Copies of this chain bind each other. A is one copy, B any other.
Amino acid sequence: MSFSPLIKQLIENLQCLPGVGPKSAQRMALHLLERDRDRCRQLATTLREAADTVSRCDQCRTLTEQSLCDICSSARRDEALLCIVETPADVIAIEQAGGYRGKYFVLLGHLSPIDGIGPEDLGIDALVKRVEKRGVSEVILATNPTVEGEATAYFIIEQLRSSGVPVSRIAHGVPLGGELEFVDGGTLVHAFSGRTTVTESP
């Protein structure tokens, strides 16, 4: 004996959310049904609407239900700077940090032959065309410092070589507030090889 078929199905469906297992799904389902019917309906409506209408920005490929995202349609952003990131969440993180006033290109993933994700899935053709056509003066690679992120960055560097536009990679090293003692070896090696001179040589 257990929950009724519909409640069982709801518990199962809730497990498609990342980080939600059977126990939390059960808690969520009962919470919604016991206390929050209206918000449950509202969530259903928003989920369906988002699944049906959210698409990609025509220019930067980020997720949006508009044809151009806010950043791409803004006249205040510097067209000459183009930052390449893996996901829309990365855009938000960079925006919240502040300081960057250029535009973005969102790959929505990284090269991963094992999952069948190739350059065409990441829109790299469109990226190359955009860099060649418009007055882009610098491309900043901000893919994740993981094996796949690095591979994707190097692939893009190769693709952009013929355009002659300078390509840079964001710095990797010891994070601010981090203590050297607790930073992993890979990051320390990066921090040393990427060191910058602070005094002129005599």
- Minimum CB–CB distance for A82 against chain B, Å: 16
A26 within 8 A of B: yes
Q: How far is the CA of A32 from the CA of B54 in the complex (A)?
A: 11
State whether A43 and B14 are in contact (beta carbons under 8 Å apart), knowing that A4-B66, A30-B87, A65-B4 are contacts in the complex. yes
Q: How many copies of this chain does one complex carry?
A: 2
**Residues from chain B with Cβ under 8 Å of A18 in the complex:** 24, 27-28, 31
CB within 8 A of A44: which of B19, B44, B92? Answer: B44
- Minimum CB–CB distance for A32 against chain B, Å: 7
Contact check, A70 vs B17: say whether CB atoms are below 8 A apart.
no
Summarize A's interface: helix, strand, loop or mixed. Answer: helix
**Residues from chain B with Cβ under 8 Å of A1 in the complex:** 70-71, 74, 95
Contact check, B63 vs A33: say whether CB atoms are below 8 A apart.
yes
- Minimum CB–CB distance for A33 against chain B, Å: 5
A114 within 8 A of B: no
Q: How far is the CA of A92 from the CA of B3 in the complex (A)?
A: 7
Contact check, A10 vs B92: say whether CB atoms are below 8 A apart.
no
**Residues from chain B with Cβ under 8 Å of A6 in the complex:** 46, 49-50, 53-54, 65
Q: How far is the CA of A104 from the CA of B34 in the complex (A)?
A: 18
A137 within 8 A of B: no
A25's closest neighbor in chain B, by CB? B17
The A5-29 residues at the B interface (CB cut-off 8 A) are 5-7, 9-10, 13-14, 16-19, 24, 26-29
Mark each residue of chain A from 80 to 101: 1 if its CB lies under 8 Å from any CB of chain B, else 0.
0000000111001001000000
Please name the 9 residue pairs, one residue from A and one from B, whose CB atoms are nearest each other, closest first: A44-B47, A44-B48, A4-B64, A16-B39, A40-B51, A13-B43, A44-B44, A6-B65, A18-B31
